[in-house]
Structure 1
Amino acid sequence: MSGIDSTVGVRVLVVDDEREVADAYALRLRGYCEVETAYGGEEALSIVENSPVDIVLLDRHMPGISGDDVLAELDERGFYGRVVMVTAVDPGVEVLEMPFDDYLCKPVDREDVRAVIDQQQRILAYETLGKYFSVEAKRTVLEAELSSERRREHEGYAVLAEQAELLERRTRRLLTDDNILDQFDQIEREDI
C-alpha cells in the first residue's frame, strides 16, 4: 500500500501503448475519478511505485514490457489494488494463472469503463475496510491494555497505529458511504 493517501476519490491508472486508446479511456474517466495514463509497461510500473494507485486498467500486448509482464510484476511487488485487463486479446486458458481482477475485451464503452471502476472500487473499499477493522481492533485493545508510555516505547505499536491511520484514510476515500467506520467505534473493546 502506498504511503501517501489523501481525501481524493479512487485513483485509476490507464496503461496502453496506443496513446489515443489510453487517452480515450482516460477522457471517459475524467471528472469521474482521478486518472493518470501510462503508455508502456515500464512507465506504468514507475507510476505505481511512486504514487498511490487503486485500480489499473491494463492492456496486454505492448512492446517492451507486456501487460502480462506488468501484471506479474505488480503481483510480485504485492500491489495493493485492483487490476482490470482491457485488451483486444481474446482470453484463453492461460488466464487461469493470471492474477487480474476483471477482463474486458476492447472496445469498451464509457458506461462499461465506469461500471468496472465502480465495481472494483467497492471491492477494494471493502477489502481495505476489513484490513482496517483487523488492525484497528488490535490497536484499540493495546491502547486499552498498555500505558501511553509503554505504547510510545513499543515500535510495533507505532507501526500498527500508522497502518491503522493509512487504512482508515484509504477506506474513507474509497467508500461512498463511510458510516460503517463510525459503527466500529461504537463497539466496546475494553475489559476483554
Structure 2
Amino acid sequence: MGHDQNPTLLVVDDEREVADAYALRLRQRYDDVRTAYGGEECLHEMDDTVDVVLLDRRMPFSGDKVLTEIRDRGHDCQVIMVTAVNPGFDIVDMPFDDYLCKPIEKDDLFAAIEQQVTAASYDDPLSEFFSLTAKLSVLEAEHTPEQLEESSEYVRMQRRVAKLREGLEVPREDFERMVETFTAINRGEG
C-alpha cells in the first residue's frame, strides 16, 4: 500500500443500483472507485492495485466465498463486509477487516475506509487487532452478555485482542486516536 491517502476501492454488490449508489457516494472523496456486480466479477477485477474491497455478503456467489478466495490468492487488501446479514458466531474465523450492517451512514462508511487505509500502512498486528475488535463489537451488538460468555470463540478473541494490544508498536496517542475512531463507527442495527 504505497498510495496512502488515495486508495483504490472496489465496491461489490450483485444489485447494480446498490453498488452504483455506494460508488457514487465514495467518488465524492476518492478518485479510483471501481464496481463489480457479483462475486465472480469481483474476483475477475481483483488485482494488487486494489486497497479496500467493500464486499456484500448475501450474493448468489456469496461474499463469504469471495472473501476466502481473495485471501487464498494472497491479495494484499483490506476487506470490509457490507451486509444486511446479522452476524452470528460464524464470523469468528472469517478473514475480513471490518463488518458494517446495512443501511450504513455515509460518515461511518468513510470512517471505516479511512481506518483500514491507516491500519494497512502499519505492520500486520494492527490490522489483526482491528479485525478482531470489529468482530467483537459486531457480536456484542447482536448477542446478550450471557451468550457471549458461553462462546469460547468470543472469549478467545478477547484474550487475543488484549495480547495484541500489548505488543503493538504504534505510538500511544496515534493508537488511542485510531481506536476511538474505530469504536465510534456504527456497525450494527443496535
For the aligned pair, the TM-score class normalised by the smaller chain equals: 0.5 to 0.7
Partner of 2:10: 13
CA distance in 1, matches of 2:105, 2:23: 12
Give, in whole Å, the separation in 2 of the partners of 1:102 and 1:77. 19
**1:95-134 mapped onto 2 (5 Å cutoff):** 95-127=91-123
How far did residue 127 of structure 1 move? 3.2
> Is 1:85 equivalent to 2:93 in the alignment?
no
| Structure with larger RCO (C-alpha < 8 A, sep 6+) | 1
Structure 1 residue 93: deviation in Å?
0.5
Cα distance in 2 between the residues matched to 1:127 and 1:80: 12
* Mapped partners of 2:91, 2:27: distance in 1: 30
CA distance in 2, matches of 1:108, 1:73: 25
CA spacing shift, 1:6–1:100, aligned 2, 3 Å: closer
After the TM superposition, which segments of 4 or more aligned residues of structure 1 sit over 3 Å from their partners? 5-8
In structure 2, runs of 5+ residues without a counterpart are 127-190
Of 29, 45, 48, which residue of structure 2 is paired with 1:47? 45
AA matched with 1:41: G
Q: Distance in 2 between matches of 1:6 and 1:93?
A: 35
What percentage of residue pairs aligned between the two structures are identical?
Answer: 56
CA RMSD of aligned residues (A): 2.1
Computing the radius of gyration from Cα coordinates, the structure with the larger value is 1
- Cα distance in 2, alignment partners of residues 99 and 7 from structure 1: 22
Distance in 2, Cα, partners of 1:10 & 1:31? 13
Q: Normalising by structure 1, report the TM-score.
A: 0.60
- Distance (whole Å) between structure 1 residues aligned to residue 122 and residue 113 of structure 2: 14
Shift of 1:31: 3.4
